[in-house]
A and B are shown apart, each in its own frame.
Chain A
Amino acid sequence: SAVISQKPSRDICQRGTSLTIQCQVDSQVTMMFWYRQQPGQSLTLIATANQGSEATYESGFVIDKFPISRPNLTFSTLTVSNMSPEDSSIYLCSVTTGANYGYTFGSGTRLTVV
C-alpha cells in the first residue's frame, strides 16, 4: 500500500494567517482526499482532489477557505486560509487506488489557531 508523508505534523498559527499542508505519496494514486477532524469529533471530508481537475468540495467547505492543489499523481496541498480558532483541528490526507485496495492516511497535521 502507499506511504504518505504529511507535513507539518503540527503548528500553532496566529488568527488571520494561512497554513499550507503538504501530502507526498510514494506512488501514483488517482484519488486523494482531505479530511478535518475537530477536537473529539469524527473525520469530515473537506474535498476530493483529482490530478488535473479542480477539487470537489463537500457541503460547508469552500475553495476560498480551503484551496487545494493537485499538480501530479503523487502530491497535493491543502491551505487553510484566514484562520480563526474554529479552524483548530487535525487535518488528514488520504489516498486510494480503489476501495478494493484500501485507503492510506497521512499521520495528520495538528493545527492550533490562537
Chain B
Amino acid sequence: AQKVTQAQTEISVVEKEDVTLDCVYETRDTTYYLFWYKQPPSGELVFLIRRNSFDEQNEISGRYSWNFQKSTSSFNFTITASQVVDSAVYFCALTHAHQAGTALIFGKGTTLSVSS
C-alpha cells in the first residue's frame, strides 16, 4: 500500500526565515512519482513539482528547492527566505507510474504561516 506522511501539521516562521517541509513516503513500487502542491487560502491546488523515482537529483526553482532521497524515502521541500505570500497548506503526493495514470495519494498537509 502507498502512504505519504507529513509529520509537521503546522509551521510558523517569520519572513526571511528558511523553512523545510518534510515528506516521507511508503511504496512497494520501484517506479513512482512524487509531487508537491500548494493550496493557498483561496483553495485552488497549485502544482509545484513532479519527480520520478529514477531522478534523485535535487531541484532548485527560485526560492524553492527539493531534496529527494530514496534511501530514506523522503522528498523534502525547502523555502528559502520565506515571504508572507508563501502562507498556505502544502501537500506532498505519490502515485504509481501506471501508463494511463493512477490517482494521487496525498499526505495530510503542512500549514505554513509566514508572518511579517
Q: Chain B: interface residue count, which band? A: 20 to 34
Inside 8 A of A102's CB, which chain B residues have their CB?
Answer: 47, 50
- Partner of B100 from A92, A98, A110 at Cβ < 8 Å: A98
Inside 8 A of B104's CB, which chain A residues have their CB?
Answer: 33, 43, 45, 94, 103
- Secondary structure of the B contact surface, majority rule: loop
Nearest CB of chain B from residue A12's CB, rounded to whole Å: 16
Q: Please tell me if the beta carbons of B107 and A100 are within 8 angstroms of each other in the complex.
A: no
Q: Is A19 an interface residue (CB 8 A)?
A: no
- Partner of A97 from B33, B50, B101 at Cβ < 8 Å: B101
- Partner of B103 from A41, A48, A97 at Cβ < 8 Å: A48
CB-contacts of B28-84 with A (<8 A): 33, 35, 43-45, 47, 50, 52
Q: Which B residues have a C-beta under 8 Å from some C-beta of A?
A: 33, 35, 43-45, 47, 50, 52, 91, 95-109
Q: Which 6 A-B pairs have the closest CB atoms?
A: A96-B101, A99-B33, A31-B101, A105-B45, A43-B106, A33-B103
Q: Which A residues have a C-beta under 8 Å from some C-beta of B?
A: 30-31, 33, 41-45, 48, 90, 92, 94, 96-103, 105, 107-108, 110
20 further A-B pairs in the complex, CB-CB below 8 A; given A30-B100, A99-B97, A107-B43: A31-B101, A33-B103, A41-B108, A42-B91, A42-B109, A43-B104, A44-B106, A45-B103, A45-B105, A94-B104, A97-B100, A97-B101, A98-B100, A99-B52, A99-B95, A99-B101, A100-B97, A105-B44, A107-B44, A108-B43
